[in-house]
Structures are given as C-alpha cells and as structure tokens.
C-alpha cells in the first residue's frame, strides 16, 4: 500500500498557495502575516472573573478557609493536601546525604568576598541612613540655592563682591571674572602694599626681613648676596 494515501491532507486548499495563506514556500510566516486570532474569549473571561471577585468578600473567604481547616482536621486527605499546598507551599526536594558537604562548599563560595565587604564599608551607606540624610540635606541645599539666586538678582554688584572675596580665601584666580557691566571682579580685591625693604616678594618663612633689601630671601648664586651662616642652636 502506498504511504502517500494515508498522508493527512494539507490544511491549505488545492487552489491556495502558501503566499495566499500568509506563509512562504517553506511554511514560515511571511511579512504581513496577521498571525493567529488569539483567545477570542479572553475579554469575556476577564469580565466573569471580575464579577466573581466582586461577589466574594473577605468574610466569605474566611468562612471557606475555616471549613477547609475543619475538613482537614476530620481526616479529609484532599482538604489536608490543599491546605498544606497553600499554607506551606510545594515540598522541597529531598536532601541527598552524599552531597551535603558539596552543598556546604557551594554556600561558602557564594558568600561575599572580603574585598567586597571592605568596599561597601568604605564607600557605601545604608539605604535608610542615606534616605534620612537626603531628607535633611536636600531641602536646606535647595533653600540656600534659592537665596543665592535672589541675592544675585536683587544686588548683582554685592553678589559679585562676595563671590570674589570667597574666591580670594580659597586661593582661586578670579582676575578674569567680570561683573555685570564689564567690571572686573579682581578690582574689588584688597591689594597688599609692597614691602619698604625692597621688591615685593614672598618672604621665606622663619627669616626676618633683611636690611639688604631682599625681604628675608636667602642669598646665594641667584640672590646675588652672600649666604648667611647657620644660626647656633640654643
């Protein structure tokens, strides 16, 4: 008997090509295939489930649960199994006694390394503590920012003078900063007059101003003056 006689008939009609059915020559979905219709009853099932949920109250569910417990106490194995499944969950797999040591080693391997713990201690803070600090700091920082903007808008000149003073204390170079209107912020700096002993240079710490006009600078090959002898210690 020929095996082709028992071959199931193709769902495609004889006069229908694969391209007409939304598939290519190999039976795969072709571009533009709308796909399957999906579950036509999904919307209906969702509506019925909504009605069922509205019909069952918390008190009803509590009564049903208590009846389930009563049946389980009376020896109903089906009720006992259902109760255990929802209360205790699915039973865990049986422990292999030959693999107990291997599982213990695996637990040690999954433990955090010392370096990870050190990095966390040095560079991280607990989420609760961080949130508490942010709750305190963010509003104050925002209020300070708003006050700064108000001060800059109400009196720009005073704002730039105060900013120049802060930059001077920080040792920053503010000579290139300009105030509104083209005025240099550096013009507001207090300039120290030069020393009466000679050129205005920074004195070497620990040496008094010299009478030769070098303002405490050590002499030598570059200073042009003879080097001072070391002072005797007391």
CA-closest candidate to residue 22, choices 14, 12, 30: 30
3-state secondary structure 17-65: CCCCCCECCCCCECCCCCCCCCCCCHHHHHHHHHHHHHHCCHHHHHHHH
Q: Map tokens 């508490």 to a residue.
A: 132
Per-residue pLDDT reduced to its tens digit, 65-117 = 999 999 999 999 999 999 999 999 888 888 888 888 998 899 899 988 888 88
Whole-structure pTM over 0.75, yes or no? no
Stretches in the chain below the pLDDT threshold 70: 1-21, 168-234
State residue 185's pLDDT score.
43
- Domain positions in the chain are 42-87, 127-188
Q: With left for phi above 0 and alpha for psi between -120 and 50, is residue 163 left, alpha or beta?
A: alpha
Q: Give the whole-angstrom CA distance, residue 36 versus residue 32.
A: 12
Q: What is the model's pLDDT at position 141?
A: 92
Closest listed residue to residue 178, CA positions, set 157, 153, 154? 157
How far from each other are the two terminal CA atoms of the chain, in whole angstroms? 127
How many residues appear in the chain?
Answer: 234
How far apart are the C-alpha atoms of 141 and 133, rounded to whole Å?
Answer: 12
Task: Please name every residue paired with 23 in a beta bridge, in sequence order, or none if there are none.
Answer: 29
């Amino acid at each position: 008997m020929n095996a082709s006689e028992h071959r199931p008939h193709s769902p495609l009609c004889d006069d229908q090509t694969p391209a007409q059915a939304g598939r290519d020559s190999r039976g795969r979905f072709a571009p533009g295939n709308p796909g399957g219709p999906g579950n036509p009853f999904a919307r209906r099932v969702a509506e019925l489930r909504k009605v069922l949920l509205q019909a069952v109250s918390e008190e009803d569910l509590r009564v049903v649960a208590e009846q389930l417990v009563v049946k389980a106490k009376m020896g109903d194995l089906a009720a006992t199994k259902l109760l255990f499944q929802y209360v205790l969950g699915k039973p865990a797999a049986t422990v292999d006694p030959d693999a107990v040591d291997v599982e213990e080693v695996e637990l040690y391997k999954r433990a955090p390394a010392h370096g990870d713990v050190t990095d966390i201690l040095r560079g991280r803070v607990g989420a609760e503590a961080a949130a508490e600090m942010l709750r305190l700091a963010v509003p104050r920082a925002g209020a300070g920012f708003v006050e700064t903007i108000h001060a800059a808008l109400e009196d720009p000149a005073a704002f730039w003078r105060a900013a120049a003073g802060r930059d001077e204390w920080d040792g920053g170079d503010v000579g290139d900063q300009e105030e509104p209107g083209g005025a240099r912020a550096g013009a507001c700096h207090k300039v120290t007059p030069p020393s009466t002993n000679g050129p205005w240079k920074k004195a070497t710490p620990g040496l008094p101003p010299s009478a030769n006009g070098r303002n405490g600078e050590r002499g030598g090959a570059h200073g042009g003056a003879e080097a001072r002898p070391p002072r005797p210690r007391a």
